[in-house]
């Protein structure tokens, strides 16, 4: 089945009986999507909405709201999560909150997405009338607006279809990541919708519930936050194995990639991208390998050693420079060497927080580490450390003070004295979000508690 643009997705290119999504195991037809989009677009249009914040827990409800807002030419604001604090921070950015949640929970401006009867009548859309604003918290926690267009989402879907469409075939798409995030939106909802595949609207937070719903030959869209929590799952039978497993948001540890391949029968495909660029590179395998550009993407290295990307997912076909340090490979790929913005100065010495975290992870006592500079009379570093079983035993035996000294002694073999953390916090798990990212604001909050 050919890839359709968003403008034709509710037209007559596909029959009304075509299945677009699943909800609680029940099939949802294109005719129903047409009917519910027409109904909700009429309601929202009558209110004269210009900017709407779209917030849905279910992927099918999300696409009804998304297409309804495109139909009336309203701008769409997509928050990075469902938290009330996030919505409050964006209060001046929208006229109404369009949601599948109880509107009573969203305040006076909340409008519920309503069900409606299926419709056989084709429906036209003009996506060029709308702007799509993503609000990402980034690594620091500060809200940042990134404007996209429907055309950019279509181009990204075309790249993904070129790369993996043949292997996916008629796979049903399941996911553990939210469609409110650019990766979940593109891979879980927009790509399958345009390609004519079914997607399961549920965001599965637990593997047990996803596997209970999983059909054979599916596609799974996940993240390191979930793929590092596969412990205890048995390998799937051949009949239930997915065709492809995608992950993005942060590098996937090698051990998790091995475990994923053992359970699902397929090595995961890691996606490199950003909200600004969309997906633009990938790799797969249990050992760290170079990243390879997606079809139609050019990558280069700036004089400062930073990653530059030119992609159909970037407006204007211009080069976009990111704060990622890379080493180009001879075959046109690259190796990721950490974030350039993670170099700090302590006591006049340049310290790579990325390297310091890697040195901590090399210790047998450590399963996870996040290091941050702290504001003080003079700059110091703080470390939040998730301990391994042997680390927990060592902490219990030595006590916190002596254990911290042992960690500093071990780091001193590779790090100068200025780079050694002076404030420590030991936790069961690092504070990561649904995409497997460890936000600086959350790390700082833990270190402030330990002060």
Mean pLDDT of 389-408: 95
Q: What is the pLDDT of residues 422-444, one digit of tens each?
A: 999 999 889 877 666 777 778 88
Token pair in block for residue 97: 């909150």
* Whole-number pLDDT of residue 450: 62
Short-list 301, 297, 292, 321, CA closest to 310: 297
Could you tell me which residues come within 8 angstroms of residue 286 by beta carbon, excluding any fewer than 6 positions away? 254, 257, 258, 261, 267
* Whole-number pLDDT of residue 377: 56
Distances (CA, A) of 317 to 4, 8, 295, 309, 333: 22, 24, 14, 10, 19
Mean pLDDT of 350-362: 87
Phi, psi of 57 (to 5 degrees): -80, -30
Distances (CA, A) of 107 to 68, 87, 151, 321: 21, 11, 32, 40
Give kind and range of the element (H or E) at residue 248. Answer: strand 244-248
Q: In this structure, are residues 166 and 136 in contact, taking their beta carbons and an 8 Å threshold?
A: no
* Whole-number pLDDT of residue 141: 46
* Whole-number pLDDT of residue 44: 97
Q: In this structure, are residues 31 and 118 in contact, taking their beta carbons and an 8 Å threshold?
A: yes
pTM of the model: 0.83
Q: What is the pLDDT of residues 296-313, one digit of tens each?
A: 999 999 998 999 999 999
pLDDT, greater one: 140 or 256: 256
Average pLDDT of the chain is 91
| 379: pLDDT strictly greater than 80 | no
* Whole-number pLDDT of residue 140: 45
Q: Can you list the domains of the chain with their CATH numbers?
A: 6-336 (3.40.50.12780), 347-450 (3.30.300.30)
Strand 343-346 versus strand 349-352 pairing type: antiparallel
Token pair in block for residue 89: 């921070």
Q: What is the pLDDT of residues 55-105, one digit of tens each?
A: 999 999 999 999 999 999 999 999 876 777 778 888 899 999 999 988 777
Max alpha carbon distance in the chain (Å)? 73
């Amino acid at each position: 089945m050919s890839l359709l643009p968003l403008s034709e997705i509710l037209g007559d290119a596909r029959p009304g009986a075509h299945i677009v999504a699943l909800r609680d195991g029940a099939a949802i037809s294109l005719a129903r999507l047409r009917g519910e989009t027409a109904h909700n677009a009429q309601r929202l249009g009558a209110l004269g909405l210009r900017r709407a914040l779209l917030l849905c827990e279910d992927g099918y409800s999300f696409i009804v709201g998304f297409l309804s807002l495109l139909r009336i030419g309203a701008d769409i604001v997509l928050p990075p999560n469902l938290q009330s604090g996030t919505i409050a921070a964006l209060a001046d950015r929208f006229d109404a909150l369009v949601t599948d949640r109880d509107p009573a929970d969203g305040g006076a401006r909340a409008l519920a997405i309503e069900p409606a009867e299926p419709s056989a009548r084709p429906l036209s859309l003009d996506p060029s009338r709308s702007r799509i604003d993503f609000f990402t918290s980034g690594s620091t926690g500060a809200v940042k607006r990134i404007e996209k267009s429907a055309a950019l989402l279509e181009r990204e879907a075309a790249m993904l279809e070129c790369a993996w469409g043949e292997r996916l075939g008629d796979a049903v798409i399941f996911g553990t990541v939210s469609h409110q995030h650019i990766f979940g939106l593109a891979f879980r909802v927009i790509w399958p919708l345009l390609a004519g595949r079914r997607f399961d609207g549920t965001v599965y937070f637990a593997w047990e519930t996803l596997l209970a719903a999983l059909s054979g030959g599916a596609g799974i869209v996940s993240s390191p936050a979930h793929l590092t929590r596969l412990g205890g799952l048995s390998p799937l039978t051949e009949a239930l194995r997915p065709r492809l497993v995608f992950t993005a948001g942060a590098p996937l540890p090698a051990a998790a990639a091995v475990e994923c391949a053992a359970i699902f029968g397929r090595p995961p495909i890691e996606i490199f991208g950003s909200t600004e660029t969309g997906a633009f590179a990938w790799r797969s395998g249990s050992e760290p390998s170079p990243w390879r550009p997606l079809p139609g993407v050019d990558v280069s290295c700036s004089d400062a050693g930073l990653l530059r990307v030119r992609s159909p997912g970037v407006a204007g076909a211009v080069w976009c420079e990111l704060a990622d340090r890379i080493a180009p490979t001879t075959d046109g790929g690259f190796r990721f060497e950490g974030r350039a913005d993670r170099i700090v100065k302590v006591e006049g010495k340049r310290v790579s927080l990325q390297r310091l975290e890697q040195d901590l992870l090399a210790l047998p006592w450590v399963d996870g580490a996040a290091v941050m500079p702290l504001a003080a009379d003079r700059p110091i570093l703080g470390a939040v450390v998730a301990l391994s079983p042997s680390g927990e035993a060592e902490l219990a035996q030595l006590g916190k003070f002596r254990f911290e000294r042992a960690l500093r002694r071990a780091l001193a073999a590779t790090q100068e004295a200025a780079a050694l953390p002076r404030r420590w916090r030991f936790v069961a798990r690092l504070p990561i979000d649904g995409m497997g990212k460890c936000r600086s604001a959350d790390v700082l909050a833990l270190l402030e508690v330990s002060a």
